Amino acid sequence: MLLNRALSRRRELALRVSLGADAKTIILQLLTETLFVFVCGGVLGILCAILSQHALVRLLPPDLPRLEEIHINGPVLSFSLAVSVAAGLLFGLIPGLSGFRTDLAQHLSDGSRSQTAGPTVGRTRQVLVIAQLALAFVLLTTAGYCYAASRLC
């Protein structure tokens, strides 16, 4: 999704470069936007984990050993936040750097013509969307199976 967003902003980036912005400034802006999204997602995930901890523990069988020791601790939360920041850095740099590999002058000269992508970009988008949907399906199926299995025990 980040690559798709970067591809749709190519004309804007080309305009900024033509007005004098250097690559470092543009990459830092894209990185800041991406980091904000990833850190917000990490913080919301941590809040959901904290708020749902007691409800999830109640779903476990009562004869589970050391059930009272299940809790969320600081190192796990800090690791989760660190993973969010690392993923934001990694996935924020990729679209930022890939935007400068193309001919920016071509995007400016396109004018009001449609922003159609080439066949390789279109194929890449399709593969990424399919992979994302497949992963979401696997995660939802696994979560449903785990929930059903915990209810049967």
Which pLDDT score is estimated for 128?
Answer: 80
CA distances in angstroms from 102 to 10, 17, 50, 87, 148, listed in the order given: 9, 13, 44, 24, 49
Which pLDDT score is estimated for 114?
Answer: 46
Where do the structural domains in the chain lie, given as residue ranges?
Answer: 2-116, 118-153
pTM of the full structure:
0.62
Residues 59 and 150: beta-carbon distance below 8 Å:
yes
DSSP string spanning 3-65?
Answer: HHHHHHTHHHHHHHHHTT--HHHHHHHHHHHHHHHHHHHHHHHHHHHHHHHHHHHHHS-TT-T
Residues 26 and 71: beta-carbon distance below 8 Å:
no
Which pLDDT score is estimated for 118?
Answer: 58
**d(Cα 69, Cα 12) in Å, to the nearest integer?**
53
Per-residue pLDDT of the chain (153 residues; tens, 9 = 90+): 666 676 677 777 777 777 887 878 888 888 888 899 999 998 998 898 888 888 888 888 888 888 788 888 889 889 988 998 998 888 888 776 766 655 666 666 665 444 555 566 677 778 888 888 999 999 999 888 887 877 776
